[in-house]
Amino acid sequence: MLDENEDIHPLFAGAPATTEFKKLRKRIVRYTREAIEQYGMVERRADGSTPKWLVCLSGGKDSYTLLAVLYELKWRGLLPVDLLACNLDQGQPGFPSTVLPEFLDRMGVPNRIEYQDTYSVVVDKVPEGRTYCTLCSRLRRGNLYRIAREEGCSAVVLGHHRDDILETFFMNLFHGGRLATMPPKLVNEEGDLFVFRPLAHVAEADCEKFARAMNYPIIPCDLCGSQDGLQRQQVKQILDGWEKNRPGRRQVMFRALMNARPSHLLDPKLFDFQGLELGSREKGENFGEIPLLR
């Protein structure tokens, strides 16, 4: 965004003028635009109407970055959608409930603030010593889907970034016995809403640098973040160790998620191993070209 322009959005007022920050901001915008285009997140409607997205804000660094970059793309004319920011106040003790409403109103961002005390439900249902994350996220997701329907939105937009996707992959690998992660785009179980993750290619470190440089009022997660021994924290520590020993390892692993070869895995539902015959490489059968063994 050209900040010298008079119609700059308030979200970018006071942006640092350093070369380092400008490069950071360009990188985040570029990666987000690439994900939106690569995974076809913008609907092309036959009636010419404009899609509406529910942009979910927790008050963390990732959701602030998500909101800012979507508004930058919209300002540039590269995101032809309407945006509605939404915060679900889940009733956590000590949650600063006025921070986000005041921030969004001050920024002139259309928003909906919803209060639902899911915290009491989670504490009541989850045994002591177990993580709240699974039930908490299920209740949060159900409420966000409801709000999206009420507001006429076609998509729920989340701030998960590249590192969240990698951590989820390894959690499924280590604890779930499956190769799966958070996809950048999916349809909910009811089949009536998209779920988008436009920051899928953006590194967590870049989100943190951006949100702090912009001095956004970051709200820590006191519900889950205070629990020790979470599987996600353990996986994060492993990835941190790998990254420290070999910088760039995270990006290499992330690229692997975009370069799957079903014929070199073991799932017969993805590749017809029984139908594999000699000479099939030349015939181009069995899901296209068969990659060479390495």
**pLDDT (tens digit, 9 = 90+) per residue, 133-191?**
778 888 999 999 999 999 999 999 999 999 999 999 999 999 999 999 999 999 999 99
Task: Tell me the angle at which helices 61-75 and 204-213 cross, rounded to the nearest 10 degrees.
Answer: 80
Query: What are the beta bridge partners of residue 155?
Result: 53, 194
| Residue 49 CB neighbours (<10 A) | 10
Say what the pLDDT of residue 90 is.
85
Answer yes or no: is pLDDT of 215 > 50.
Answer: yes
List the end-to-end C-alpha distance of the chain, in Å, as a whole number.
Answer: 45
| Cα(13)–Cα(44) distance, integer angstroms | 32
3.60.10.10, 3.40.1710.10, 3.20.20.70, 3.40.50.620: CATH of 10-257: 3.40.50.620
For the chain, what is the total number of helices (H) and then of strands (E)? 10, 6
- Which residues are CB-neighbours of 111 under 8 A, at least 6 positions away? 84, 85, 86, 87, 100, 101, 104, 105
Distance of CA 272 to the CA centre of its chain: 33
Q: Going along the chain, which residue ranges are E strands? A: 52-56, 82-89, 111-115, 155-157, 185-187, 194-196
What is the value of pTM for the model shown?
0.88
Instruction: Copy the structure tokens of residue 162.
Output: 């590249």
Q: Please state the domain extents for the chain.
A: 10-257
| Residue 132 CB neighbours (<10 A) | 18
| Cα(280)–Cα(272) distance, integer angstroms | 12
Answer yes or no: is pLDDT of 223 > 90.
Answer: no
Q: What is the pLDDT of residues 54-90, one digit of tens each?
A: 999 999 999 999 999 999 999 999 999 999 999 998 8
| Cα(234)–Cα(4) distance, integer angstroms | 44
Instruction: Copy the structure tokens of residue 231.
Output: 């599987």
Query: Mean pLDDT in the chain?
Result: 88
